């Protein structure tokens, strides 16, 4: 389930989580003043960006590990046909 966390008027942070997460965000942000909401926004955005970096690193590491086991040498010049 996709939950949109509103960071500001223009920005929304898409979070793929369930109903429990959505309810928790709503409960935490209920009655929150602007200063604390700004701090929460910085925190959530930092967590989101770190998750993107970690995800990219994990994909890169798994791709590198997979490529070590696959022979991928250049074939070179084709062999000449003998008559």
1 pLDDT higher than 80? no
DSSP annotation of 30 reads T
Beta carbons within 8 Å of 83's beta carbon, 6+ residues apart: none
Q: Coil, helix or strand for 23?
A: helix
Interatomic CA distance for residues 50 and 8, integer angstroms: 20
Interatomic CA distance for residues 33 and 18, integer angstroms: 26
Q: Which carries the bigger pLDDT value, residue 67 or residue 15?
A: 67
> pTM for this structure?
0.52
Interatomic CA distance for residues 78 and 22, integer angstroms: 61
DSSP annotation of 71 reads -
24 pLDDT higher than 80? yes
């Amino acid at each position: 389930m996709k939950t949109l966390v509103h960071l500001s008027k223009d920005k929304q942070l898409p979070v793929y989580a369930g109903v429990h997460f959505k309810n928790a965000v709503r409960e935490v942000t209920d009655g929150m003043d602007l200063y604390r909401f700004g701090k929460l926004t910085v925190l959530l955005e930092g967590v989101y960006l770190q998750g993107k970096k970690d995800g990219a690193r994990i994909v890169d590491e798994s791709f590198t590990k997979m490529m070590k086991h696959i022979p991928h040498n250049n074939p070179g010049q084709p062999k000449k046909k003998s008559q």
